Chain A
Amino acid sequence: MKPLAVYSAEKRFGDTVALAGVSLALEEGELLALLGPNGAGKTTLVKAISGRVRLDAGHVELAGRPAHEPGARDILGVVPQEVALYDMLTPRENLALFGRLQGLAGRALEEALGWALRWTGLEARARHLVKTFSGGMKRRLNIAAGVLHRPQVVLLDEPTVGVDPQSRERIYEMLDELRRQGTSLLLTTHQLDEAESRCNRIAILDHGKVVGEGTLPELVSRLFGGRRTVTLTLNRVPESTLPGLELKPGGRSGAALLADAVEELPALLARVRACGLEVEDLALHRPGLGAVFLALTGRELRE
C-alpha cells in the first residue's frame, strides 16, 4: 500500500488543460522531486492531492484510502510556497495554532511544539515575533507548521526558494530526518542540483503529463544509454566549425555527446589539433538532470 498514489488525474480550467492523465506514486520514506517548466501542472497536481482542486477524472489515494473520504487527508501535511505564517505571532504561537487546526491538543500538542522548535533550531527564538526572523528561519518554521502533526505524506512546494545555501542545507537536513523516520515527501523545485543530489526519485511533468519518472541513473540510461558528454575548452576561438563539437556562440568552449567515449574521443581531439587548436581543458561526464530535462521537455527548466 503506497502512502500516496495518483491515478490518471485530469483537470481542465476552461480551455486550458492543467492535468492530462497524471499517475504517480510515492514510496514510504522517499523524497520524490516533481520537476516541470512553469505551467506544466505541478501546482495543480499538488493542490489536487491536498484537496484544493477537484479532479475532472482520476483519483488520489492516501495510504490506500480515497483522499476524498473523511479523515483520509489527516495523514497529509502541506508546506506552501508562500511563507504562510502570522508575522505578529511567535513561532510557538504559530505552531500551536496550526497544530490545533490539525487536531493536536494537550500533551500531544506540547510535545509536538517542543519537537518542532528543536527540529527547526528555533528554540532560542521561540518567543520572538516571526516578523523579526530571517528568510531562512521563516522557511524552516513554514515547513514545521506543515508537519507538526507528523503526517505520513508531506507535500512541499518549493521549500527552499529564496534562501541562502546554508539555510538550504539546513532545510534538507530537516527533510532527511523526516525521511529517516519513514515520512514520504513530494517536493516541487526549480533547483536541478537539489533534485539531483537530494531526491531519491524524480518525476518530470510537462503539458499536464508525466514525461519521465525514475531515479536519475534510470532516466539517464533510458534517454542516453551509455553516452557521455565531453566538454572542451580550447586555446582560442576556432575560425570554422568543428564537426561533432557544439561550440558556444562566439566562445572557445563546447560540448559533444559521445556514444562510446573510448572510441570517439581520440578522433575528436585529432580534429581539434588538425585545425591548429590546443585543448586547454577537458571533462568527460555522464549527462545530468539538466540534459534529461532538456531532452524530455525541449526546454531549459527556467524557460
Chain B
Amino acid sequence: MIRALIQASLLQLRRDRVVLALTFVLPIAFFSIFALVFAGPGGSGSELRVDVGVVDEDGSPVSTRLLAALEKEKGLNVRRTLKAKDAQQPLDREGARALVRGGQLDAAVVVPKGLGAAFPSFTPGGPEVEVLVDPANPIAAGMIVGVLQKVELTAPPDMFVCGSLAAFERFAGALTPEQRRAVEEWQKYLELEAEEAAPGGGSAEALAGGVVRTKVVDVIRERAPRTATVAFYAAGVGVMFLLFMAAGAGGALLEEAEAGTLERLLTSRLGMGRLLLAKWAFLTALGFVQVTVMFVWGALVFHLDLASHLGGFVLMTAVTAAAASGFGLVLATACRTRQQLAGLSTILILIMSAVGGSMFPRFLMSETMQKAGLLTFNGWALDGYLKVFWRQAPLLDLWPQVLVLSLLAAGFLLAARLLARRWEAA
C-alpha cells in the first residue's frame, strides 16, 4: 500500500513539470545566488572596489605621495575631481562630503593643510587626515583607514626618515656635516626605492599605530538620526514581504478561476481589464498599508524618525506597492496552479531580495552584483528608501527610483493583461 502511494505521488510530481523543475532548481538557484552575493564569482569577494574621493589641501610632497599611493591600491577607485568626467574642477572638502552623503562615493580622504610639515607626528595634536565615510558602508570606512595606514608607512619611507631626523634634531641637537651628508645619500636611495616599490611591500604591520593621525568623520550622522539604520532594515524587510503579500494575494485569481467566481465576474459587465485594475488597486492599497504599519511600528518601538520623512516615505511606498502589486498579478496570471505560483514566487522573490539588497546591503556586494541588483525590483525600491531615510535627499532626488518603479508597475500590469487573455473568450 505504501509503495502504491509512493508511486502515485511520483507520477503526480512527474506530470507537473513546473513543480518538478522548481523542486530541483530552487535549491541550486539559491545556492548560486548566495554564493555570488556573499563570496563573489571567485569565491573570495576580491571584486569589491571602493570608490574614494581624495582632496589634497596640503599640496606637500608627503600628501602628494600619500594620495598617489592610494591611487595604486587595487581595492580603490580614486577620484580627484568633483564630476567623474570633468577633470577641470578638482574635488574639495565640501564637494567630497556631498558626494559621500549622496552615495556617489563610498568615502573620501582629505589631507589637511600642514600635514606634510608635521610628518611624521609622534606627539598628540597637529593635523589629521580626515576620512569622510558613510556608516552604512562599514567595509569602505575600514578599508580606507587600513589602506591609508599601509601607504603612509610604506610609500614615503624617505619622507618618514627626513621628518623623523628633523624631530630628532629638534630634541637632540643638529647633525654633524658628515652625518648630514650620509643621511642625504640615504635619502636619495630611499626616494629611488619609493618610486620603484609598490605600496604594501613594507613592514606596515610592525609599524602600524599611526604616525599620520587619521580621523574618521561620519558625514551621514552629522545630519541623520542614528535610527536611520532601522529604516534601512524596515525597508529591506518591508519590500520583501510586500512581494510575498502581492504574490499570495494575486493568487486569489487562480482560486477564483477554480471556484468559478472568475467566470461569473467575466460574464458580468466588468471585463478582464477592469478586473485586473481593481485587483491591482486593492493590492497596492493593501501593500501601502502593510509597509506603513511596519514603519509606524518602527517609529513607536525603535524611534524611527518617520514624521520628518513623511513625504519621501509616502512617495516611495506608493510606487513600491504599485510595482509589487503588478508583479504579483504577473505571477498569478502566468501560473496555472497554486503550487506553481507558490514555487515560482518563492524562487523569484528570494532571488530578487538577495540580489536587490533586502537581505544584505548592496553596497557591500561586488560591483557586478551591485549592477545586477539594479535589474531587480528590490534594488530600486531600497535605493529610494535609502535616499529618504539615510541620505536625507529631497523629494526631487527620488525621480530615478520613482520613474523606474512606475514603469515597472505599468509594465507588470500590461504583462498581466496579456497573460490573462487565456481566461477570456476562447
Contact = CB atoms under 8 A, between A and B. Distances in A.
A80 B263 contact: yes
Contacts of A133: none
A82 interface: yes
B89 interface: no
A50 B259 contact: no
Given A82-B263, A85-B261, A145-B264, A53 B269 contact: no
B267 A83 contact: no
B260 A101 contact: no
Contacts of A85: 261
Interface string B238-268: 0000000000000000000001110111111
A100 to B, nearest CB: 9
Nearest to A79: B264
Contacts of A51: 267, 425
A78 B264 contact: yes
Contacts, number: 44
Given A78-B267, A80-B264, A101-B269, A54 B259 contact: no
Contacts of A101: 265, 268-270
Interface in A134-160: 145-146
Contacts of B260: 80-84
A281 to B, nearest CB: 46
Interface residues of B, number: 13
Interface in B260-288: 260-261, 263-270
Contacts of B267: 50-52, 78, 80
A98 interface: yes
A212 B128 CA distance: 102
A47 B269 CA distance: 15
B275 to A, nearest CB: 9
A53 B426 contact: yes
A84 B269 contact: no
Contacts of B259: 82, 84
Interface in B204-263: 259-261, 263
A102 interface: yes
Contacts of A50: 267
A74 interface: yes
B269 A74 contact: yes
Contacts of B269: 74, 101-103
A7 interface: no
Contacts of B270: 101
- Residue among B267, B270, B425 with the highest chain A CB neighbour number at 10 A: B267
A47 B264 CA distance: 11
B268 A98 contact: yes
Contacts of B425: 51-54
Interface string A50-79: 111110000000000000000000100010
18 contacts: A52-B266, A53-B425, A54-B426, A74-B269, A78-B264, A78-B267, A80-B267, A82-B259, A82-B260, A82-B263, A84-B260, A86-B261, A98-B264, A101-B265, A101-B269, A103-B269, A145-B264, A146-B264
Interface of B: 259-261, 263-270, 425-426
5 tightest CB-CB pairs across the interface, nearest first?
A82-B260, A84-B260, A101-B268, A84-B264, A78-B267
Given A98-B268, A102-B269, A146-B264, 6 more contacts: A13-B426, A52-B266, A84-B259, A84-B264, A86-B261, A101-B265
